[in-house]
Amino acid sequence: MAKSFLTDIKKHFGDGNYAGDEFGGARGTSGQGLPTGGPGNFMFATGIECSYPTIEHGKVRRDLLEECGHYEHWQKDLQLVKDLGLKVLRYGLPYHKTHLGPGEYDWEFADKVMAEMQRLGITPILDLLHFGVPDWLGNFQNPELPVHFADYCGAVAERYPWVRYYTPINEIYVTAKLSAKDGIWNEQLRSDEAFVTAIKHLVAASIMGNQQIARHRPDCVIVQSESAEYTHELRTERTPHIQLENKLRFLALDLLYAHHPDGEVYQYLHDNGLTRKEYDWFMVGEPPGYQIMGNDYYGRNERMILPNGEVLTASDVMGWFNITHDYYLRYHKPVMHTETNVFDPEQAPTWLWKQWVNILQMRKLGVPVLGFTWYSLIDQVDWNRGLEAKEGTVNACGLYDMDRNPRPVAEAYRQLLQEYGQITIIPHGELFEQNSRPATLKVEI
């Protein structure tokens, strides 16, 4: 029998063969691939739940930083992020408490938290508006919102010049819909005109805030967290308003990224108060910096409407992969999975792995996926009812419970990090350097 080439390989190099990572980076486990500490730059993240809309027509402020104990346990919470091995944190400064009035700010809490984050080596994706505004700004019907919010964004970027990653406004579409069309938060209106008014003010605020951030940090990375939505209508004869809803889910990103919607959506905007001058302003071009499309996906993001009108949660029928791929084909932006969880702590590890499979499938297609986020670090409160009533129901969806004890999903995430922690954003991404040079305009040839 002829000598096998493996004989000499084994003699000189041992039994191992380089285990190439089909997903584009070094595995860093069990001696395979590049060793731990190699060039992994995929952003494994969690987030601190920080929603602060008002309910009961402005009489009650929901503050999830308070209701989930973060104001009391912020140091412990940041240490839990570090101990779990995560280097990235979606973090919302309490806008309603920080921006006291035009040009007036209270930085006491923000300074403490940001200094500790920097000391621990945690990279924040700063979330600057999360479902609510300070009382003095009223609500999202206020046309002065873009100017005042832009000032706030500039002040944040100036105060924390080491921060590069931002989400100026979290889930613009959801914010506008629940505030102005579903009548649950803030202005609590229920009309298409109020919805269009809210969404144009929010997108304009995001664009102007982005511009002010870029003045201080020209190489800013904007991770626009937006819900990955879809409604399956299980009727042979489709309902026009439901079909329109499946188009309107793109509306916030269409305006943000200067992507012309179709004629039906344009007509809807025109009929409900968006002027041609305003529309042309949105279509001038994209905001500055590097734009990342973040898609949030929960099982409830996907719905089924039965023939009798009953609405069911369609958890994972299309899933994050298929829905986000539709968004990617529309905008061609690098992607990040910016939120996911389930309320059943026993099912959470399985859900985590299923979401990770979605990411791996997306990467196999060559789509650049920037990162993944389990949201949130600590259990949440009253999200089973969308925060519409202050009942104090604990949603067991965190990596840790309210006493800061780990839930099963924390160990699952730790295992995922051990296996995939060294992968890169794109295949062979170690060839590309992240640097502090100013962002430049992109040129298409």
Can you tell me the distance from the alpha carbon of 331 to that of 103, in angstroms, rounded to the nearest whole number? 35
pLDDT above 70 covers a percentage of the chain that reads 87
- By the 8 A CB rule, do 203 and 243 touch? no
pLDDT above 90 covers a percentage of the chain that reads 84
Those residues with Cβ within 8 angstroms of residue 198's Cβ, 6 or more apart along the chain or in another chain: 140, 141, 175, 176, 179, 180, 187
Those residues with Cβ within 8 angstroms of residue 165's Cβ, 6 or more apart along the chain or in another chain: 88, 123, 124, 125, 126, 220, 221, 223
pLDDT digit string (tens) for 429-444?
A: 555 555 666 655 544 4
Q: What pLDDT score does 255 carry? A: 96
Say which residue the tokens 């499946």 belong to: 246
pLDDT digit string (tens) for 97-115?
A: 999 999 999 999 999 999 9
Rounded to the nearest 10 degrees, what angle do helices 145-159 and 192-216 cross at? 30
Q: Mean pLDDT, the chain, as a whole number?
A: 90
Which CA distances in Å does 121 have to 64, 86, 357? 25, 10, 28
Confidence check: pLDDT of 21 > 80: no
Going by pLDDT thresholds of 50, 70 and 90, the confidence category of residue 40 is: confident
Q: What pLDDT score does 425 carry? A: 77
- What is the arithmetic mean of pLDDT over 74-84? 98
- How is domain 5-21+43-421 classified at the CATH fold level? TIM Barrel (3.20.20)
Q: Which of 266, 263, 264, 240 is nearest to 255 (CA)?
A: 266
pTM of the model: 0.90
Please give the backbone phi and psi of residue 259, each rounded to the nearest 5 degrees, phi first.
-105, 120
pLDDT digit string (tens) for 340-392?
A: 999 999 999 999 999 999 999 999 999 999 999 999 999 999 999 999 999 99
385-415 in b/e burial notation, b at 16+ Cβ within 10 A? Answer: ebbbeeeeebbbbbbbebebebbebbebbbe
- What is the arithmetic mean of pLDDT over 39-50? 91
Domain limits, the chain = 5-21+43-421
Give the chain as a 3 state SS string. CCCCHHHHHHHHHCCCCCCCCCCCCCCCECCECCCCCCCCCCEEEEECCCCCCEECCCCEECCHHHHCCHHHHHHHHHHHHHHHCCCEEEEECCHHHHEEECCEECCHHHHHHHHHHHHHCCEEEEECCCCCCCHHHCCCCCCCHHHHHHHHHHHHHHHCCCCCEEECCCCHHHHHHHHHHCCCCCCCCCCHHHHHHHHHHHHHHHHHHHHHHHHHCCCCEEEEEEECCEEEECCCCCCHHHHHHHHHCCHHHHHHCCCCCCHHHHHHHHHCCCCHHHHHHHCCCCCCCEEEEEEECCHHHEEEECCCCCEEECCCCCHHHHHHHHHHHHHCCCEEEEECCCCCCCCHHHHHHHHHHHHHHHHHCCCCEEEEEEECCECEECHHHCCCCCCCCEECCCCECCCCCECHHHHHHHHHHHHHCCCCCCCCHHHCCCCCCCCCCCCCC
Q: Which of 130, 119, 211, 118 is nearest to 169 (CA)?
A: 130
Going by pLDDT thresholds of 50, 70 and 90, the confidence category of residue 211 is: very high
Q: What pLDDT score does 29 carry? A: 38
Q: What pLDDT score does 422 carry? A: 85
Confidence check: pLDDT of 322 > 80: yes
Confidence check: pLDDT of 265 > 50: yes
Those residues with Cβ within 8 angstroms of residue 58's Cβ, 6 or more apart along the chain or in another chain: 135, 139, 186
- By the 8 A CB rule, do 185 and 54 touch? yes
Say which residue the tokens 């986020």 belong to: 373
Q: What pLDDT score does 15 carry? A: 64
pLDDT digit string (tens) for 213-237?
A: 999 999 999 999 999 999 999 999 9
Q: Which of 131, 161, 152, 171 is nearest to 210 (CA)?
A: 152
Q: What pLDDT score does 320 carry? A: 96
